[in-house]
Structure 1
Amino acid sequence: MAGLRETPPPPPGAGHNNGPSMEAGRAWRVHCWTRARAARAEAKLPLPIVRMRIARAQELGLPYKTYASVRAVSGRDVAALLFTSNALRLFREGALPEDRRAALEAVRHCLLAGLIHPPLAVTAPEPLAQAARAPGLFHGWTETRDMIAAAHPRLPGPAVLLIGETALEETWAAAGRLAGYLEGAGYFGPETR
């Protein structure tokens, strides 16, 4: 009977949920998987690195939890903060509110840029280093991506965090392939709304 082959078992019937295999060795595979997840590099950061990242979050004016999640998703440090004119409460020419100005002046070692909505002139109010025109409703995905890239030239998208106020502005983070999106209240705090 050495030449006979075993026939494979029939496929699961109706109502079968294709649950986990109950064959021998399953407990060992679960154990190995659990140990591998616990040993990941992100799970055990050395204390000096955690301290450096807390200091970096403070330099950027971000809560550590927000900074850590943005860094984990993008795989990079935040090199630029890109603010929309809505998040800055910039509703008329040259009138950046004092609370917003003070928060931006406290940021260290980071490019500050703006996306300015029409009809405002495309100028970078102090302390922003540069500004570009914000995309509108009528711009396509490619045009939106190019307009956002113009606001942070020479920087890769995953190193830029967008801070805005509206659902439309939130889609710009995906269009520009940015590190993420944060609402203005999450950056400036709810008391500045």
Structure 2
Amino acid sequence: MPDRPFPASAPPPAGHNGGPALEPASLLAVERWRRAKAARKGPSGIALRMQLGRAAELGMAPRDYLALRAFCGTDISAVAFLPEALGLGLGRRLSMPGQIRARLRAMRDVHLLCFSPPAEPPALFREDLAELTGCQIAGCAPCPALVLPWSEARAAARALLDPLRLTGAAVLLVGAGEVATQLYGAARLGGHMSPDEFFGSGPA
């Protein structure tokens, strides 16, 4: 049998630029890749129509709702208002600008929550607010007067959400200032809008 020359070394396995072959991707890595790819895609026609309808139920401009929905990754189940976000007059009787009251009344299929002013008993404030707006107020808890330690701020927010078993990601907070910012971050809420952003965000 004639002798045949052998290569000095075996040819490199197939790979990028002739390099070594890549290791098989793990199932977890593949799933993460699929999710990231899907997240970059816009919603399908049916999903988009449903989301536009949901924006109308919340009285939000479609672009604002779609941005919020993409950010928090879920629908908004509740909107929580700080007292100053509602433009309330806290005299002998509560008062509220007519356009804010109309906006609240127009919202559909969402829990309306509120923080009571620090000096107001939550149960009484909730009752007065429901009477003033004609809306069902699903929950009320005391609003911190000042910025708190992080754990206490989270507890203050959870006092509002836990009775309804709401996840933070499904809640939009409407309010301004350091207390609002801290409540949003400590409870990992789904979104945060200033009163001007929320009440100025009507259907286009």
TM over 0.5: yes
What is the RMSD of the two structures over their aligned residues, measured on CA atoms?
A: 2.6
Give the C-alpha shift of residue 41 in structure 1. 4.8
Shift of 1:73: 1.9
Cα contact 1:158–1:177 (8 A) shared by 2 = yes
Task: Report the AA paired with residue 148 of structure 2.
Answer: H
Higher relative contact order (Cα pairs below 8 Å, separated by 6+ residues): 2
Checking the alignment, whether the CA contact within 8 Å between 1:159 and 1:179 is kept in structure 2 is yes
Aligned mates of 2:97, 2:138 — CA distance in 1: 17
Alignment of 1:67-146 (within 5 A): 67-92=65-90, 93-122=93-122, 123-124=125-126, 125-126=129-130, 127=135, 128-137=137-146, 139-146=148-155
Shift of the alpha carbon at 1:119?
2.5
* Gap runs ≥5 in structure 1: 4-22, 26-35
- 1:179 paired with 2:190, answer yes
Letter in structure 2 aligned against 1:65: R
- Give the percent of matched residue pairs that are identical in Structure 1 and Structure 2: 32
- Which structure 2 residues correspond to residues 5-44 of structure 1 after superposition, within 5 A? 24=17, 40-44=38-42
**Counterpart residue identity of residue 177, structure 1:** R
**TM-score (ref. length: structure 2):** 0.69
Q: Structure 1 residue 60 and structure 2 residue 58: aligned? A: yes
Asked whether 1:170 is paired with 2:181, we answer yes
Q: Which has the higher helix share?
A: 2
Q: Which has the larger radius of gyration?
A: 2
Mean Cα displacement is larger for which, 51-60 or 159-168? 159-168
- Given the superposition, is the C-alpha separation of residues 95 and 40 from structure 1 closer, same or farther in structure 2, using an over 3 Å criterion? same
Report the Cα distance in structure 2 between the residues aligned to 1:40 and 1:57, rounded to whole angstroms.
Answer: 22
- TM-score, normalised via structure 1 length: 0.73
Report the CA distance between 1:94 and its aligned residue.
Answer: 2.4
> Could you list the runs of 5+ residues in structure 2 that have no partner in the other structure?
1-7, 10-15, 19-33
Q: How far off is 1:134 after superposition? A: 0.7
Equivalent pair of 1:81/1:163 in contact (CA under 8 Å): yes
* 8 Å Cα contact 1:85/1:91 also seen in 2: no
Spell out, residue by residue over 1:15-68, the C-alpha distance to the aligned partner (whole angstroms, 9 max, x if none).
xxxxxxxx959xxxxxxxxxx999635414211110110110111122222222
